[in-house]
Structure 1
């Protein structure tokens, strides 16, 4: 294959990975919107759309395998293809977490814990993923370290939110007049909220993974990979 054609395929791979990230992030934003507005129709669209993300992943996986098998890349090109393959795996998993948000929306009975700002946590992790993909697109080394450093902030936000939910549950008055059905509904809502917080934290973790693979791709530096 002529060098120009090979380079074009590498460029196409980068653009396709970036496109997949746009689709995935749009689903996360929709998931947050569905949770906030209790929009069941939007939630179902997110769930139904998971197959599109899975297909994007499979198509890009095939492209990566073809480039590895047919072109036998070395050095920087090899790291780029390998990093791209790992990044689409993280993106596919973020897509799964977006689907979870849709499912939580369908299952939730009522609004609880207004003091827990799920939207703020969601906005923060979406921004992290956006920045990690910008770093991948531009091979921005400094940004990869900044993104990794921000993970502690996300962890703190999620820990504080989870603590608030558990503290409220402990302090909530449940007496002999509280029906078993009410208790079950309460526990189900608490469980869903804690799972939502956990899933948002995991999206932040995937953003760090993307930054780590970008650093390895650009500098052959595995410092952020763990």
Structure 2
């Protein structure tokens, strides 16, 4: 019975990694489409969001099977619960990739405004955060999860700098104000991705801290 549980838990980990890779890929392609003003690619990214949603359902089903059929002990129960919470945040990150693509479509190929440099930097940093958050869960690395949470300050600072740049642009070039406002939404979506990744790391810490305390209590008995 325990070997079956271990096998299913490994399948769960693999699916979480797969979903994380799909989400990261969506963000990467969304930013690339935005930079290149590639409306057709942006439309494809929005359609591909269904793949992420399907992976979420698969992971939820694995978690429910583990909870109902395997009746995990306390420390494993926390890991499965954390996975359920994590995929919700991952799905919302995928939604934000679609949101960014929608902004690309709204801006269109004729937009005269350039992408503010800090937006690309924000995208890079949020993807690093996401990959580290997922790795922290899979490798049971509580220190890495703490690092992810701390790194959210970097993304927040980039958002503040980008927001200030965009506000100045609106003041100086009012004819491009609507396009600049759309880019501000893009920056906000990236900032929210950082927040969701922080949530993922917090659930990792919850699961592992509780696991460690359970193990310690067991050793004392």
Q: Same fold (TM over 0.5)?
A: yes
Alignment of 1:158-173 (within 5 A): 158-172=159-173
Q: 1:65 to 1:41 in 2, by over 3 A?
A: same
Q: 1:37 to 1:208 in 2, by over 3 A?
A: same
Q: Which residue of 1 aligns with 2:2?
A: 3
Give the CA deviation at 1:60: 1.2
Point out where structure 2 has 5 or more consecutive residues left out of the alignment: 212-221
**Selected match of 2:183 from 165, 188, 193:** 193
1:63-90 superposed Cα distances (whole Å, 9 cap, x missing partner): 2122112222221110010000111111
Q: 1:63 to 1:165 in 2, by over 3 A?
A: same
Q: Which residue of 1 aligns with 2:45?
A: 46
Distance in 1, matches of 2:22 and 2:208, equals 24
Alignment of 1:60-99 (within 5 A): 60-99=59-98
Give the CA deviation at 1:35: 0.5
For the pair 1:147 / 2:137, whether they are aligned, the reply is: no
Give the CA deviation at 1:188: 2.6
Give the CA deviation at 1:121: 1.1
Checking the alignment, whether the CA contact within 8 Å between 1:113 and 1:165 is kept in structure 2 is: no
1:49-106 superposed Cα distances (whole Å, 9 cap, x missing partner): 0111111111211221221122222211100100001111111001000011111111
Q: Which residue of 2 aligns with 1:180?
A: none
1:26-68 superposed Cα distances (whole Å, 9 cap, x missing partner): 0110001000111122111101101111111112112212211
**Could you say which structure has the higher helix fraction?**
2
Give the CA deviation at 1:170: 2.1
Point out where structure 1 has 5 or more consecutive residues left out of the alignment: 175-182, 222-226
Q: 1:152 to 1:72 in 2, by over 3 A?
A: same
Give the CA deviation at 1:187: 3.6
Count of residue pairs the alignment pairs up: 209
1:121-147 superposed Cα distances (whole Å, 9 cap, x missing partner): 100111111111111111111111111
Q: Which residue of 2 aligns with 1:22?
A: 21
Q: 1:68 to 1:93 in 2, by over 3 A?
A: same
Q: TM-score, normalised by structure 2?
A: 0.89
Q: 1:114 to 1:48 in 2, by over 3 A?
A: closer
Checking the alignment, whether the CA contact within 8 Å between 1:116 and 1:164 is kept in structure 2 is: no
Q: Which residue of 2 aligns with 1:219?
A: 209
Q: TM-score, normalised by structure 1?
A: 0.87
Over the aligned positions, Cα root-mean-square deviation in angstroms equals 1.6
